[in-house]
Amino acid sequence: MCGLKSKVNCPEFTNYLNDFSIIGLQETKLNDLDHVELEQFDIFYKNRSINKHRRSGGIALLVKKNISKYVTILETKSKLVIWFVVSKQYTSLEQDILCGTVYIPPENSSYATDDPFLEIQLELNDFLKKHTHVCIFGDTNSRTKNLADFINVDRDFFDFQNLTDIYDDYNSEMLNFDTSCTVH
């Protein structure tokens, strides 16, 4: 997003927002002294404390005012996610939906944590006692480090489903891909 305060003065941006009911924004670059208003939306923030001369990070959740009564913000300790519940009365599902809009700072950021996914997972585990429908979205600043940026498929899954021939084809394709991408 690269700063919410500057974007709210842009008619193209605000018109675009009006096409949605619930919006998660990352990189809002707001602090607790900032106040942003959008006529159609209630806005919920998780701002960073300022420890540098420039603003960075931050999360905001925008909820259209006409559906705000169906959305409950959950107070948590994590600065990485805004957790909220969308009522089953709004969705017509049998249960409420637990949602989280996430911003994980880049690994080299002074705001980075040792294991951001674990931090989010620990909060999620508490919520899963009450909620089975979950939606998590946002900016996770991809964290693959030295790991593959694709999923290694487990042969046991294919064997269990009697799909061994598909696994063999997949494995063959991956071997070809690996050798074509090797730097010589």
Inform me whether the pLDDT recorded for 147 exceeds 80: no
For 173, counting Cβ atoms within 10 Å of its Cβ (0-12 exposed, 13-18 middle, 19+ buried), the class is exposed
What pLDDT, on the 0 to 100 scale, is given for residue 106? 83
pTM over 0.75: no
Pairing of strands 133-139, 97-103: parallel
Rounded to whole angstroms, the Cα distance separating 141 from 74 reads: 24
3-class SS of residue 116: helix
Inform me whether the pLDDT recorded for 40 exceeds 70: yes
CA-based R_g, the chain, Å: 21
pLDDT tens for each residue of 100-145: 999 988 877 777 888 888 999 999 998 988 888 999 999 988 766 6
Rounded to whole angstroms, the Cα distance separating 105 from 111 reads: 6
Instruction: Tell which residue, 66, 83, 63, 86, has the closest CA to residue 74.
Output: 83
What average pLDDT does this structure show over 59-84? 96
The correct answer on CATH 3.30.200.20 for the domain covering 4-139 is: no
Q: How many CB atoms lie within 10 A of CB 37?
A: 8
Residue with tokens 């049998």: 94
More confident residue, 48 or 92: 92
How sure is the predictor about 150, in pLDDT bands with cuts at 50, 70 and 90? low
What pLDDT, on the 0 to 100 scale, is given for residue 53? 60
What pLDDT, on the 0 to 100 scale, is given for residue 51? 58
Rounded to whole angstroms, the Cα distance separating 85 from 178 reads: 42
More confident residue, 32 or 30: 30
Residues 62 and 74: beta-carbon distance below 8 Å: no
What pLDDT, on the 0 to 100 scale, is given for residue 183? 46
pLDDT tens for each residue of 81-102: 999 999 999 998 999 999 999 9
- The rounded percent of the chain whose pLDDT value lies above 70 is 82
What average pLDDT does this structure show over 41-57? 76
* Domain spans of the chain, in order of start: 4-139, 150-184
